[in-house]
Amino acid sequence: MSEWILIEQLKQGNEAAFKKIVEAWQDMVYNTALGIIQNAEDAEDIAQDVFVQVYESINTFKGESKFSTWLYRIAVTKTMDHIRRKKRKKRFAFIQSIFGVNDEIAHDPPDFQHPGVVLDKKETASELFKAIELLPESQKIAFTLNKLEGLNYQEVSDIMNTTVPSVESLLHRAKNNLKKNLEIYYREKYNLDKF
């Protein structure tokens, strides 16, 4: 059954069509949220929120962009909303938990396994995801969509409502920032400053 038929059926309130849409797109939505938020439980909650919004607002989808673009936009927006809400709620507690005795950093981002990461690359991937977490919001979104989700520049620009050159610039800056952050990590890990 074609995507457009499912969308039309969903617009008429067909729950079987909704179930098929969820089954077809849940991994993409979950992986997008996970790539940005880096927490499996939160990514599951966000995915549920995304599909609730799809069900409630399917009539606003006019077909001017691809359905996947519309869905990615919702997923990115819901993920960023979740991050902002979480930051507001936990800002003070988070600051307290980061600094332990003698103002040493006591908090590490939670360890998680992204479906796109091979098990033997887990340590390297963990450091990469920590570095991704440090990126500014727009760079993090562009990098996640392009490198983790495999979308091309045009698709990323459609989702982010920006131009292809802007996406190229965001990705260039993201790569430079990741390189700097990972260089620091590897210098510390292998004591390269001593040479």
Does CATH place domain 113-195 in 3.30.70.1150?
A: no
Query: Is the pLDDT assigned to residue 167 strictly greater than 90?
Result: yes
Query: Is the pLDDT assigned to residue 171 strictly greater than 90?
Result: yes
For 45-48, the CB contacts below 8 A with 24+ separation are: 45/82, 46/75, 46/78, 46/79, 46/82, 47/75
What's the gap between Cα 62 and its chain centre?
25
Query: Is the pLDDT assigned to residue 103 strictly greater than 90?
Result: no
Average pLDDT, the chain: 83
Q: Where in the chain is the domain with CATH 1.10.1740.10?
A: 1-108
pLDDT at 90: 57
The better pLDDT of the pair 106, 84 is held by 84
Class of domain 1-108: mainly alpha
Q: Report pLDDT digits (tens) over 107-159.
A: 444 445 555 555 556 666 777 888 888 899 999 999 999 988 899 999 999 99
Q: Where in the chain is the domain with CATH 1.10.10.10?
A: 113-195
Confidence of residue 78 (pLDDT cuts 50, 70, 90): very high
Report the alpha-carbon distance of residue 28 to residue 79 in Å, rounded: 13
